[in-house]
Amino acid sequence: MNPPTASDGTRGSTQRTDRVRPAAVTPSTAAAARGKVSDLLRHAGISLDSVTAADALLVTSELVTNAIRHGGGVTAFHTTIVDEALQLAVSDPNPHAPFSRTGSPDQPGGYGWPLIQRLTERVSVSSHPGGKTISATLRLT
């Protein structure tokens, strides 16, 4: 007689043990988000030395940094490649859409949102009860 099979497919345990796979971890830093996108690009055969990868990583950094700095933190992060395009979605708890501003000596910056708009094929902002999600698409070809 074979020992019972646990829910994870192993044999030898007489107790049923349910294993829960850890949920995807939402990156809490721009560097962690770039790491996820770098892995995805490498897996898709995109050289990390290419202009395409540099643009994708820059957009990733800007979206996540803006969510942290202006949006109250990253609440969700999703990235995938569909039809030779990188799709990014970054959510934060602030429902207000980003806007362009001009930096000043006492408040430098203001370059991120225009840069995102310039480098992406498509960018959209959707507000929802938990904040907003910014979705961006970058062509990889």
Residues 16-62: pLDDT tens digits?
A: 333 433 346 799 999 999 999 999 999 999 999 999 999 999 999 99
Find the domain containing 66 and state its range.
30-139
Domain assignment present for 12: no
Q: At residue 4, does pLDDT exceed 60?
A: no
Can you give the CATH number for the domain in which 110 is found? 3.30.565.10
Domain assignment present for 5: no
Does the model's pTM come out above 0.85? Answer: no
Domain count within the chain: 1
Domain assignment present for 9: no
- Which distant-in-sequence residues (6+ apart) come within 8 Å of 89 by Cβ? 76, 77, 78, 79, 133, 134, 135, 136
Cβ burial of 99 (10 Å; 0-12, 13-18, 19+) is exposed
Domain assignment present for 21: no
Domain assignment present for 47: yes
Residue type, 118: R
Confidence bin at 120 (pLDDT 50/70/90): very high
